[in-house]
Every structure is written in structure tokens, then in C-alpha cells.
Chain A
Amino acid sequence: MQYFMQLLISGLAIGAIYGLIAMGFAVIYKSTGLVNFAQGEMTMITAYIAWTISTTVSGNVFVVALGAILAAVVLGLIIERVVMRPMLGEPVFATVMVTIGLAVILRSSINFIWDAYPHGLDVGFGRSIVRIGPIGVRTGQIAVIVTLLVLLAVIWAFFRYSKIGVAMRAVAADDRTALLMGISATRVHALAWAASSVIAGIGGVFFALSYDLSPAMFQLGLKAFPATILGGLDAVLGSGLGGLLIGITENLAGGYIGSGMKEVAGFAMIIVVLMVRPFGIFGERDIERV
């Protein structure tokens, strides 16, 4: 039982990180209709910038957090303006391939700007262990679960009540009508990229806090795919919850079946889920009329 609880807690913690990145996917999909294959790489770059701030400027938690968020916003805006906006109006396949190209470039640039060795992000927080009953949990793990839950609530309220949130939903539903109603699609896209970069970046920084920073971190993006597919590509909240589910499944499979299963449990799960519900658990069904 204790083993099970231990697996469950660490599954929730890693699942919360997947969930954050998956929400990044969903925010972009919801407002632009694209899957951003460079999400994992953007996450990795934000985490590396956070590490650079912590080693060069100050190791204070708030300085690092603020710096990382600002960096993520700038990264998202630059990518949207330079790479994605010229592709506006092109077919989805072409635009998605552009994000794949972008992913390859960002991934290789890590080795040029930083190096290929693993680093620990140390902000004097996150690595100490708290005991809840018989189970030891790292403070960073608790923090990431709490952050995910808070962000889920904030984003739900944002899409439900704020004017910008409603505008984003309008662009997602029908960009032409939204344009006619006076919503600037480009501004909504820019905002979506910035928001997605920040949400996923937070996940990346937490990953660096609890584990280590390395050029293999882009694989987080691949791991978050099952999460967002499970929740539904257009369901932001569903993607967050999907992340938790994938994290738990992965850890339980790794703990009880074998370490090889841990790597692919998420992927195996989405193949099964997609057979039953091709649009994810919380995704909206796409109805075609002829």
C-alpha cells in the first residue's frame, strides 16, 4: 500500500508537469487549430533561461520565477511573429510542419547556446522532503500539483468570463466570423502563443526543480502529447487532467509491470482511448455535414 501511494504521489507530480505542457498544446490548438510540435522545445528553453538567471543574476525564487515567465512570454511572441504569422491562411499540414521544423531548430540550438551536460536548478526550494504519514514527498512535487490546480481554475475562469477569453473561443470556433465581429485574429494568436509558452514553461521550470535540466528535456513534449490527446486537443482543462492520468498510469505501469512499460504506457493508453473516442475524453466531437 505504501509502495502504491508512493507511486501515486510521484505519478501525480510528474503528471502535473505533463498536464501543464498539455495545457500549452491545448491553448494553441483552441485558438489557432494547430498542434505545436515545438512545445517541448519551448518548455526546455524556458527552463534553461530560468537556470541561467539562477546562476548569473540571483538564486531568489521570485526573481527566477518572474524572469522565466517574462522570457517565456517573449519567446512565445517572437515565435508567433517571426515564424507562425507569415503562415496565416496556409493549409494546416503546412503550418504544423513549420512547427516541426521549428522544433528541430530549437532542439539543436540548446547545444550551441548552453551545453550538453545535465544541470540542477537550485533556488533553495523544492528538493527538501516533507513526510505525509509514511510517504516522503518533495516540496517541489507538492508545489507543481498545487500550481496545476490553481492554473486550471484561473484558465477556466479566463475562458468563461474575461472578454479576451471569449474572443479566443470565438476565433477558435470560426475565425472569419470573429474577424467580421471586430476581433483581431493575429492579436488573439499572439496572445495564445505567449500564454501557451508561459504555461508550458512553468511546467518546464518545475521539472528542472524536481529533476534535472538536460538537452533531452524536449521529450517532455512527446510525453505530454498523450495527455492532450487523452483530454482532447481542444479541451484546455481536459488536457490538464489528462496529464495527471497519464502520469499516474505511467508510474503504476513502471512500478508494477516493468521500466520498459513506463516509457510507452501513455502512448499505449491513447491508442486504446482513441479507438473508443476519436476526439479524446473531453474533446468536442467534430460533426461533418455534407
Chain B
Amino acid sequence: MRTGDFKQTYGELVTLVDSPPVWLWSALLVAGLIVAPFVLNSYVLSFLIIILITVVGALGLNILTGYTGLISLGHVGFLVTGAYAYAILVSKYQMHPLVGFLGAGLVPALASLIVGAPSLRLKGLYLAITTLAFSFIINTVILEARWLTNGARGISVQRPEIFGISFDSDAAFTYLCLGFAVLTLFATLNIRRSRVGRAFVAIRDNDTAARVMGINLHAYKLFAFVTSAFITGLAGALYGIYLSFVSVEGFPFLLSIEALAILIVGGLGSALGAVLGTILIVLLPEATRLVFSLFSAQIDAVFTTGAQELKSMLYGLVIILFLRFQPRGLVGAWHDLRRMWVNWPLRY
């Protein structure tokens, strides 16, 4: 009788997926996503695009907060630098879009060195507030550097054309986002199972012990910052292209909180959790609107007038309820569900 999931060699512990059916299901999912742009109407497709872009950003934050345990409240700062780096390189200086994407990763990565270096001595809440300070400072720098960023007027961005393939239509742009999302997913999964990823998790679990084991805390914390900022910057560039206009107002502070909400709802420190959390948080306002519109048109009217407020109230409520009743997030719930028959009558 199978009583659990036992790993017998070290190789089994670090494999990408632990059972062959997962490959099959993942392949089916990717195939479904490739077909999706042909089938879906543009309204549903816009949600798919936002989910794919948000997945990239959430995976970026997951490296820093989920794996390494450094709480960042300033990730919107990296998002906005990435978007501006792309917009300035491509729209203003007519560079190749691929150069733009490279810049969108590298500029936030450099910025993360500036914010990461003073943060090495800080822990926990002090660090969270320093990153918060960073995101406000970035906004002011962007608004003040008018010669480069057009200040408050923002920069408009065209959908890119790479190697003769135009990503102008929504369907084509979905493929671009899908490509980035899949690449990021593989990158973070591989980081997690490598030496670097193990060092990150060791720092998160107990930094003193990690240091005793010979892990260079400063180097690995900075590496986590740089990687996380690089990926988040790419998400920022994609989001800027999607909005077709990059400005400071397009990246409100709420996005930082949304990103943390995604990680918590999904399950901290898990790539699958980041994906599940993104799907839930992005679709949550829409799902609630649908449910309420079934009941009465009056509530529907409240949604149209106070849509933004209701959306953020829902974030808040969902964060609190998840932390209270399902601290391990959707991934935890999924694990319990998967093992329900094995563990019955115990819950887990």
C-alpha cells in the first residue's frame, strides 16, 4: 500500500517534477494556452494577458520574499523602472525590442544593488520599510528627471516587432507573454533546485545557521535582490507595453501589496503557488462582479461606481481570510486535497 511520497536518492529530491503525469498535464496546459488566443474573445483574452504578465512579476517577488524570506514592499519600484527602461530604450532611442527587454531587466537589477546594499544589515520589518522608501524615491526620481522620462507626461509604447514577427494583435501579444511566463517559470524552478536556491531557503529558514554552514549571506541576499528585480523589471516592461503607455500613475503602490497578496494566497515560497495565487487574485474582482450581478442590478450599479474601492477591499479581505484560515495558501490546500484519500481520516 502506498502510504506517502518517499524520496530515496538525492536526485529524486531535486527533480523538476516528481511524477510523469505532471509532464503530461503541463504539456496539455501549454497546448491549451497556445490554442486559447484563437478561441477566446478579446475580453477574456485580456484577462489571460494580465494573468501571464502578473505571473512573471509574482515569480520575481517569490524569489526574494518566498525563497529568501526578505519582505519587499517596494517591488512596484522595480516594475516601474523596468517599464521605463523599455520605454526609453525602444520608444525614445528606437532600439531593438530585445535590447529593450534586456535593459528592462538590467536597469532594475542595477537599482536593486543600490537598494539591496544598505539593506544587508537590516532585518524583517526594517527591511520592508526601506524597500517601501525606495519605491517612493524611484517615483520622485522619475518625475524629476524630465529630460529622460518626460516627467508626469509619460511615454507611449508601441507593441514590439521582433525578427519580422509583429506582436501587434492581442493574440500575438499573448504568445509573447506566454513565452516570458514559461521561461520565468522554468528559470525560478531551476533556481530553486540548484545550489543557489538551497542557499536562499537556508537563509529564509535560519540565517544564523545558514551562515554557520558557510553560506555567504551578503552575496546570496544581493543575488536574490538582483534576480528578483531582473524578473520583475521584465514584467514591468510587458505591463507597460500592454498599457501602451508608461507613467508613474500606471504603477500605483497598490501593486506592491497585490503582489504580496498573490504570494500569500498562493502559498509563500512555491512557484505553483505564485501561479495559482495570480489566477485567483486577477479573476477575483471579475468573479465577484459576476456573482453579484446574478442577484440584483442594484449591487451591480455599486460595482460600476465604486469598482476600484471594492476591488481593493476584496484584496484586503482575501489576504486576511487566507492568513487566518489557510496560511499555507492554495498550494497547501491543493496538497491536502491530493493526499486526501491517502491520509483519510486525518486532514493531512
Whether, in the assembled complex, A98 has its beta carbon less than 8 Å from a beta carbon of chain B, the answer is yes
Tell me which residues across on chain A come within 8 A of B212, comparing CB atoms: 290
- The distance from the CB of A116 to the nearest CB of chain B, in whole angstroms, is 9
Tell me which residues across on chain B come within 8 A of A94, comparing CB atoms: 264, 323, 327
**Interface with A: B89-97, B121-129, B226-234, B275-283, which one?**
B121-129
Tell me which residues across on chain A come within 8 A of B324, comparing CB atoms: 86-87, 98
Whether, in the assembled complex, B144 has its beta carbon less than 8 Å from a beta carbon of chain A, the answer is yes
- The distance from the CB of B249 to the nearest CB of chain A, in whole angstroms, is 14
In the complex, which residue of chain B has the Cβ closest to the Cβ of A270?
A: B133
**Contact pick for B71, options A93, A101, A102, CB 8 Å:** A93
A270 engages B130 (CB within 8 Å): yes
- The distance from the CB of B61 to the nearest CB of chain A, in whole angstroms, is 13
In the complex, which residue of chain B has the Cβ closest to the Cβ of A267?
A: B133
Q: How many B residues touch the partner, as a band? A: 35 or more
Whether, in the assembled complex, A182 has its beta carbon less than 8 Å from a beta carbon of chain B, the answer is no
B121 engages A275 (CB within 8 Å): yes
A274 engages B312 (CB within 8 Å): no
- The distance from the CB of B125 to the nearest CB of chain A, in whole angstroms, is 5
**Interface with B: A10-18, A50-58, A104-112, A183-191, which one?**
A104-112
Tell me which residues across on chain A come within 8 A of B315, comparing CB atoms: 101, 104
Assess A97 versus B132: contact at CB under 8 Å? Given A90-B323, A104-B315, A105-B317: no
Provide the B105-141 mask, 1 if CB < 8 A to any CB of A, else 0: 0000000000000100111111011101110110010
Tell me which residues across on chain A come within 8 A of B261, comparing CB atoms: 101
**Contact pick for B316, options A95, A101, A222, A260, CB 8 Å:** A101
Tell me which residues across on chain A come within 8 A of B143, comparing CB atoms: 260
Whether, in the assembled complex, B5 has its beta carbon less than 8 Å from a beta carbon of chain A, the answer is no
In the complex, which residue of chain A has the Cβ closest to the Cβ of B211?
A: A290
Tell me which residues across on chain B come within 8 A of A107, comparing CB atoms: 312
Interface of A is mostly: helix
Most B C-beta atoms less than 10 A away, residue of A104, A107, A258, A275? A104
Whether, in the assembled complex, B272 has its beta carbon less than 8 Å from a beta carbon of chain A, the answer is no
- The distance from the CB of B6 to the nearest CB of chain A, in whole angstroms, is 29
B320 engages A98 (CB within 8 Å): yes
**Contact pick for A225, options B71, B132, B144, B260, CB 8 Å:** B132
Within the assembled complex, what's the spacing in Å between the Cα atoms of A103 and B253?
Answer: 13
- The distance from the CB of B147 to the nearest CB of chain A, in whole angstroms, is 14
Within the assembled complex, what's the spacing in Å between the Cα atoms of A142 and B75?
Answer: 39
Tell me which residues across on chain B come within 8 A of A284, comparing CB atoms: none
Whether, in the assembled complex, B56 has its beta carbon less than 8 Å from a beta carbon of chain A, the answer is no
- The distance from the CB of B189 to the nearest CB of chain A, in whole angstroms, is 23
Assess A260 versus B323: contact at CB under 8 Å? Given A93-B71, A104-B313, A233-B126: no
Tell me which residues across on chain A come within 8 A of B71, comparing CB atoms: 93, 96
Whether, in the assembled complex, A268 has its beta carbon less than 8 Å from a beta carbon of chain B, the answer is yes
Within the assembled complex, what's the spacing in Å between the Cα atoms of A232 and B298?
Answer: 49
A108 engages B323 (CB within 8 Å): no
Within the assembled complex, what's the spacing in Å between the Cα atoms of A104 and B317?
Answer: 9
Tell me which residues across on chain B come within 8 A of A83, comparing CB atoms: 320
Assess A111 versus B306: contact at CB under 8 Å? Given A105-B317, A267-B137: yes
- The distance from the CB of A109 to the nearest CB of chain B, in whole angstroms, is 7
B309 engages A111 (CB within 8 Å): yes
Tell me which residues across on chain A come within 8 A of B121, comparing CB atoms: 274-275, 278
A108 engages B144 (CB within 8 Å): no
A97 engages B260 (CB within 8 Å): yes
Within the assembled complex, what's the spacing in Å between the Cα atoms of A110 and B306?
Answer: 11
Provide the A247-262 mask, 1 if CB < 8 A to any CB of B, else 0: 0000000000010110
Assess A278 versus B122: contact at CB under 8 Å? Given A101-B319, A104-B312, A104-B313: yes
**Contact pick for B122, options A96, A101, A274, CB 8 Å:** A274
The 4 closest A-B pairs by CB, nearest first: A101-B319, A104-B316, A267-B133, A105-B316
**Can you show 29 pairs from A to B with CB atoms below 8 A apart?**
A35-B128, A87-B323, A87-B324, A90-B323, A94-B264, A96-B128, A97-B319, A97-B323, A98-B320, A100-B257, A101-B261, A101-B316, A101-B317, A101-B320, A102-B320, A104-B257, A105-B313, A105-B317, A109-B309, A109-B313, A112-B306, A258-B144, A261-B140, A270-B129, A271-B118, A274-B126, A275-B121, A278-B121, A290-B208
